[in-house]
Amino acid sequence: MSVKEQFCLRSIPKPLWDWLEDTAHARRLNINEVIVEFLDSVRSSSPDPLLFEPAPKLIQSSPKSIPFRFIDLFAGIGGFRLALSKLGGECVFTSEWDKFSQKTYASFYGDMPHGDINEVDPESIPDHDILAAGFPCQPFSIAGVSKKQSLGQAHGFQCERQGNLFFRICDIVDVKRPPVLMLENVKNLRSHDKGKTWAIIKQELESRDYVVNAEIIDACYWVPQHRERFIIVCFDKHVFGDSVNFEYPDLSGRTKPKFREILEEKPDDKYILTDHLWNYLQQYAAKHKAKGNGFGFGMTDLDGISRTISARYYKDGSEILIPRGKGKNPRRLTIVEAARLMGFGELVTTREDMPVSDTQAYKQFGNAVVPAVVKAVGEKVIEVMQDHHRQATNGCFLKGRADAQVIELKHVPKKSSRKKPAKQSPKSMKAKSTKRSELQNA
């Protein structure tokens, strides 16, 4: 037999080798013939067969990455999508309930997200390597909690509309068992309800055999904005083991960008504050200053960084005002500048690139995650995945298409007795709900 007719099958994990032997025995073929038949089915499945999934056309991926699949939950306008696609990821499922954010997401990436995640059967979600989710932060944010308290409304997990959506993530994790979870929320999540909220979240993740990492990261090292967010990264112990060599990005010595770098040369005059609004903001700030409060507008240092842009920016723009010179009313950010401030500048180069009104655009940017932060953390996640793959399979991937279905041959842990969760009965679901209520009231 010539070299051309031979296969070199080194470092194949035992479960995969057992599968090859069982398949060969069942079909009365030798292993070489099984592999040839498989490759031939891939070749004949389409006119232009590919062993590897093509990278997204819109976003250029990093040459140092590896192919992986991810889902984007509570997607907003796709901060996770933009970042993970650059790292070589393929988004296989998206969920976002807000119709205006759906419109922007579709405009950016060409995919219309699924709606309410509560109405999606977890079993129908494609298999994936990373579950990414910026679950709703309003029930936990300082501003959100203050507003709900002033209105006599529940906050945190007691917020029926948004507070319990973390547990929907848990439902999906139970069914799909992604190796990696990347979650994002506001800084206040860690201290909300005297730390009880974070304790519950951490307990829920650890009880599912995930190694949990969490850190507050300020986006000011990537964009000229003070924006602290709680970034949670979890690794499945059944895949990576109990000890995972993961570290968040090292920010020491990193130069912060300047606010003036995101400004347009000729902004539209419509963004200049009217005399009435400018007088109101000055009087409001003076009144609270006299009371010893810190409430007021934020006049931005052009050579520094701005305050955090929030979803309420559309109201008056007071948290980030741009000086125009002595004796002139300041202005608010243009839509293009807001996009740059949040790290979406490559997708929004003109006002026409945002398919929604100014009001909706400001809300969407105020609720978004900064893609550059996700990318920086994602690079560290990829390092862990690459290291694991080198140890587990000597760096070899076998990924292809057969009968229009993607086939992925994944490493299977040597000792994993974990079974796929059975379909829950109404009785078990009721018990689960009771457990959650007990945790929430703890």
Residues in CB range of 52: below 8 A, 6 or more apart: 67, 397, 399
Q: How far is CA 175 from the centre of its chain?
A: 19
Compute the distance between CA of residue 138 and CA of residue 216 in angstroms, rounded to an integer. Answer: 17
What is 133-158 written as a DSSP string?
E----TTTSHHHHHHHHHTT---GGG
Compute the distance between CA of residue 298 and CA of residue 394 in angstroms, rounded to an integer. Answer: 54
Q: Residues 116, 97: contact at Cβ < 8 Å?
A: yes
The count of other CB atoms within 10 Å of the CB of residue 302 is: 14
Distances (CA, A) of 348 to 65, 108, 137, 298, 309: 26, 9, 25, 25, 17
For 162-269, strand residue ranges (E) read: 180-186, 210-218, 228-236
Q: Residues 190, 227: contact at Cβ < 8 Å?
A: no
Distances (CA, A) of 330 to 89, 112, 256, 292, 335: 42, 38, 24, 25, 16
Please confirm, yes or no, whether 159 is among the known catalytic residues.
Answer: no
Q: Residues 131, 69: contact at Cβ < 8 Å?
A: no
Report which secondary-structure segment, H or E, holds 181.
strand 180-186
**Choice among 137, 159, 220, 234 that is catalytic:** 137
Residue 10 phi, psi (nearest 5) = -105, 150
Helix axes 14-27, 31-44, angle to 10 degrees: 90
Q: Residues 184, 219: contact at Cβ < 8 Å?
A: no
Report which secondary-structure segment, H or E, holds 328.
none
Q: Which two tokens stand for residue 219?
A: 């986006």
Q: Which residue has tokens 């609720």? A: 367
Compute the distance between CA of residue 122 and CA of residue 126 in angstroms, rounded to an integer. Answer: 9
Compute the distance between CA of residue 140 and CA of residue 163 in angstroms, rounded to an integer. Answer: 8
Q: Residues 58, 86: contact at Cβ < 8 Å?
A: no
Residues taking part in catalysis: 137
